[in-house]
């Protein structure tokens, strides 16, 4: 049995900025949006998203007997301006940095567990939300209370039980809705990210979804895909930050 406080303390000691632990069970609420996103073809031919959907939605299929998902956050600096290279890509290769920290965390805890950072079929942002580390915005990204969306994520899926798991946390009120600042829901009537995207990639209604075939980050990461005529990169050569820069949950932290 892992002590949740110890796990979180050691995660900070190995270099993470925050850590939470979720009980490993099925992401039932998240499955329909994922399947409907795939059915629309909004994955733009990213076939790895079509594979292992069941596993993506249930870590017990990834690690038989899994009981806990240890979710870790590594924050990075927000960009000082838009354009060029997106903020996440301006720091050291984050996959390697996070994998190293996860490895050290697993060693210090003395447990077995699968290390996950982007290359494993697991829905990292949804697990981070389940672990109480933030909420998913309309732009589909995890928004943390301390660092907004400027975070990278990594997980350890383990068969170890933990002493404590978070209840479903209440989302913070939306700071970006001047018409009704008291509205408690996270995005409420805000559409700033939707309006900030020059290519209309973000679904204005319904569950958070992005049409990847309209997203600059897709073309500037997968260089084999030619940028279609009329697509606006807004000066980005790697990734894109525009929807994050527009988000009031980020702006109140800059
Ligand atoms: S990253 Fe850029 S192109 Fe992609 S959805 Fe956000 S604003 Fe639109
Ligand atoms: S910009 Fe507004 S709608 Fe988009 S994620 Fe942030 S709060 Fe939600």
Does 27 lie in the same domain as 121?
Answer: yes
| Residue at 150 is within a domain | yes
Mutate to test the pocket of ligand 2, among 177, 180, 187 (most ligand atoms within 8 A of CB): 187
**pLDDT, tens digit (0-9, with 9 covering 90-100), for 206-249:** 899 999 999 999 999 877 788 999 999 999 999 999 999 999 98
Cα distances (angstroms) measured from residue 179 to each of 175, 182, 191: 11, 9, 13
Confidence (pTM): 0.92
In this structure, the number of other CB atoms found within 10 A of the CB of residue 77 comes to 10
Of the chain, the end-to-end C-alpha distance in Å amounts to 39
Range of the domain at 197: 192-251
**Which one of 100, 132, 158 terminates a domain?**
158
43-68, pLDDT tens digit by residue?
999 999 999 999 999 999 999 999 99
The CA distance from 106 to 109, in Å, is 5
For residue 20, being part of any structural domain is answered with yes
Q: Specify the pLDDT at position 187.
A: 87
Is residue 146 domain-shared with residue 203, that is, in the same domain?
no
Count CB neighbours of 119 within 10 A: 10
Q: Which residues line ligand 2 (CB under 6 A)?
A: 137-139, 174, 176, 187, 190-193, 246-249
Q: Say whether both 200 and 140 belong to one domain.
A: no
Give the closest ligand to the alpha carbon of residue 82: 1
Number of domains, the chain: 2
Q: What average pLDDT does the segment 86-105 reach? A: 90
Distance CA 85, CA 243 (A): 14
The CATH number assigned to the domain holding 131 equals 3.40.109
Ligand 2: centre distance to CA 192 (Å): 6
**Cα 83–chain centre separation:** 21
Q: Compute the distance from residue 137 Cα to the ligand 1 centre, in Å.
A: 13
Distance in Å, CA 210 to ligand 2 centroid:
13
CA distances from 23 to 4, 75, 84, 205 (A): 12, 23, 39, 29
Q: Is 13 in the same domain as 80? A: yes
């Amino acid at each position: 049995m892992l002590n949740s406080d110890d796990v979180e303390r050691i995660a900070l000691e190995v270099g993470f900025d925050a850590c939470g632990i979720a009980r490993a069970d099925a992401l039932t609420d998240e499955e329909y949006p994922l399947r409907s996103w795939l059915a629309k073809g909004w994955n733009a031919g990213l076939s790895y998203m079509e594979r292992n959907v069941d596993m993506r939605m249930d870590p017990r299929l990834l690690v038989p007997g899994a009981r806990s998902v240890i979710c870790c956050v590594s924050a990075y600096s927000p960009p000082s301006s838009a354009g060029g290279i997106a903020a996440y890509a301006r720091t050291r290769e984050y996959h390697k940095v996070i994998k190293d920290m996860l490895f050290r965390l697993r060693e210090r805890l003395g447990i077995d567990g699968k290390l996950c950072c982007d290359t494993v079929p697991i829905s990292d942002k949804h697990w981070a939300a389940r672990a109480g580390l933030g909420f998913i915005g309309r732009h589909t990204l995890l928004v943390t209370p301390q660092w907004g969306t400027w975070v990278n994520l990594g997980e350890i899926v383990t068969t170890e039980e933990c002493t404590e798991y978070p209840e479903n946390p209440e989302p913070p009120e939306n700071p970006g809705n001047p018409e009704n600042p008291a509205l408690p829901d996270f995005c409420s009537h805000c559409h700033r990210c939707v309006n900030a995207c020059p290519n209309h990639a973000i679904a204005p209604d319904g569950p958070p979804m992005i049409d990847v075939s309209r997203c600059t980050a897709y073309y500037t990461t997968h260089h084999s895909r030619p940028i279609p005529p009329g697509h606006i990169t807004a000066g980005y050569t790697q990734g894109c930050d525009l929807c994050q820069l527009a988000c009031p949950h980020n702006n109140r932290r800059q």
